[in-house]
Amino acid sequence: MKYRELLDLIEEGENIQCEFKREFSTPEKIARGLMAFANTKGGFMLFGVDDDKKIVGVESEKETAELVVNTAKNLCEPAINVIIDYREVNGKEVVIVNIPESDNKPHRLQDYKSEFDINTAIVTIRVNDKSVLASKEMIRILRAQTNQTALKKYVLGPIEKNVFEYINKTEKISVKELSNLVNISERRASRTLVKMVRANLLMIHTKDNGDEFFTAAV
């Protein structure tokens, strides 16, 4: 990354594709951040930059880079590939960690299980300037994206028609709202909405607090 590009990135502030870290905190916190970027649109984690955009630098760029690489490799499952660069700004070292969007979603916090367990897996995604836990609905959608299992021939039934009628009135719907609307379990409501996303009929949105809702696909 060029010097000017780094300054512009810092000036823009934290957002869905950029996060500032004053220093390497704990491996688990950093792992959650790395996973969130890899599971979403990719992005940059800048070490040596405070939340207020102040450049404080890191004590050792090589040690910071090594900690990040080890975390990406050992605490994220599957391991995440990161690209690391360094830039000196005002005499202080900034470590630039580039996390590409993954083709192998979802990445979860290492739990040493041989198979993915949706009930216990810790999966994070990026929402605005935060890394938040992904819901089961989002996890299923991430897995479908990786497996390229879009539903091309999806037959609309009474439940799906109720979804569209509800969205026409309120502009959005949640799993709980669909469950109450047509008197089905939240599990079935969840699977229905996920299938509609996979069929490109709906879009899923996540709030800063992790709550999710669905809207009609544009």
Residue 200: CATH number of its domain: 1.10.10.10
Give a yes or no: residue 70 inside a domain. Answer: yes
In this predicted structure, the answer to whether residue 51 has a pLDDT above a threshold of 80 is: yes
Give a yes or no: residue 139 inside a domain. Answer: no
Residue 40: CATH number of its domain: 3.30.950.30
**Number of structural domains found in the chain:** 2
pLDDT at 155: 84
Domain that holds residue 199: 144-216
Q: What percentage of the chain carries pLDDT values higher than 70?
A: 99
pLDDT at 153: 76
CA 128, chain centre distance (Å): 10
Residue 60 CB contacts under 8 Å (≥ 6 apart), including other chains: none
Residue carrying the six token digits 């900034």: 94
Give a yes or no: residue 158 inside a domain. Answer: yes
Residues 184-200, mean pLDDT to the nearest whole number: 93
Q: Is 66 helix (H, G, I), strand (E, B) or coil?
A: helix
Euclidean distance between CA atoms 27 and 44, whole angstroms: 17
pLDDT at 38: 97
Structure tokens at 141: 């959608």
Calculated CA dihedral for residues 68, 70, 71, 73, nearest 10 degrees: 120
Task: Give φ, ψ of 46 to 5 degrees.
Answer: -105, 120
Question: Is the distance from CB of 116 to CB of 110 less than 8 angstroms?
Answer: no
User: How is residue 15 annotated by DSSP?
Assistant: B
Angle 74-51-207 (CA atoms, 0-180°, nearest 5)? 75
Same domain, 111 and 160: no
Residue 121, Ramachandran bin (φ over 0: left; ψ between -120 and 50: alpha; else beta): beta
In this predicted structure, the answer to whether residue 204 has a pLDDT above a threshold of 80 is: yes
